[in-house]
Amino acid sequence: MKENLRVILSGGGTGGHIYPAIAIADEIRRRYPNSEIIFVGAKDRMEMEKVPQAGYDIEGLWISGIERKISLKNLMFPFKLYSSLSKSRKIVRRFNPDVVIGTGGFASGPLLRVAVSNKIPTLLQEQNSYPGITNRILSKQANVICAAYEEVKRFFPAEKTVITGNPVRLDLLKVSEKREEAQRFFHLDKKKKTVLVIGGSLGARRINQLIETWVPKFEKENIQLIWQTGKLYYDEYRKHNSDLVQTYEFLNRMDRAYAAADVIISRAGAGSVSELSIVGKPVLFIPSPNVAEDHQTKNAMALTENNAALTLTEAELEEKFEKTFFDLVNSEAKQKELGENIKKMALPNATANIVDEVEKLINKIEN
């Protein structure tokens, strides 16, 4: 296998597609320091900011998804698709990759389609138990599909689907060693409990509304709050900043945020579940009800049924949040139990397993 691998990664729209791609790129670069890696994303989406921050070049396509409701924006889709396919052909022709990796999101569609038509080896990485439409379409022609859940085999060709787990960033593997560093970074009082709230990269309206309601009680109980409101909601909630409450549009150093937390409140996207399992902290999941096949609830309940996390649906928050949350915050024994159990369900070698599949794929083509 040659040392100077040329790799294109594509995927984006949300952190759930971007960070797995960055984790895979980091592992490829670790194994092959001379490799050349570029990303392809959607213009004006968060990958255009987050990928360069991670140290990689990215090219943007003029592409977006189709609105599920009737919308004038859908009239532009054929033009965007044509533009994106044309630019993808130019990128592939110029870069001449050894492999193209897609992690989901509409940006990966045109690029993977072009790679397949040029007989370039392609690998898909699917984070969820219910795949997005882009990966479902691409799976028929991709060479390998790396997935986190056995359930996806009913959507993908089983003979080329490998269960690897979801890739996570290397900086999360040693979170337990960063506690003091994290407390200094966030200027926290070591004697007080710290709660981390993460609703996803764009934010979660219902979680933000919930936290706003309970801020006075948190402050009364001397609970420190690190609150990622998400890009869409930051301006609305930053007024709550105080000695005990820190609001952030986005947390660029999630390793420090996890390390600082005693208890975490989170959505249950596949990427978050994978990260939190490795981090090994007590979690209260509040799954988003606005996802296909209610897969976030399924993700969360897989842990809750193994006494590895707590789960409340949005419909249960009014009645059950207070008791569920404060019982957890006030019980170090319960925190320890959930933290130990969730760590048992982690797949910490997922990123390495995926890059193993990349190597197998390239060797197979070469031979």
Q: Which residues are annotated as a binding site?
A: 14-16, 128, 169, 201, 296
Question: CA–CA separation, 367 vs 356, rounded Å?
Answer: 16
Q: How many residues does the chain have?
A: 367
Distance (Å, whole) CA 34 – CA 49: 24
Instruction: Characterize the bridge pairing of strands 310-311 and 283-285.
Output: parallel
Alpha-carbon torsion (138, 139, 143, 146), positive or negative: positive
Question: Known binding site for UDP-N-acetyl-alpha-D-glucosamine: residues?
Answer: 14-16, 128, 169, 201, 296
For 254, the enclosing helix (H) or strand (E) is: helix 254-260
DSSP 11-71: --SSHHHHHHHHHHHHHHHHH-TT-EEEEEEETTSTHHHHHHHTT-EEEEE---PPPSS--
Query: In the chain, which ranges are E strands?
Result: 6-10, 36-42, 57-61, 99-102, 122-126, 144-147, 161-163, 194-198, 224-228, 245-248, 263-266, 283-285, 310-311
CA distance 105 to 43: 13
Distance CA 266, CA 276 (A): 9
Task: Kindly state the tokens that stand for 150.
Answer: 């056995």
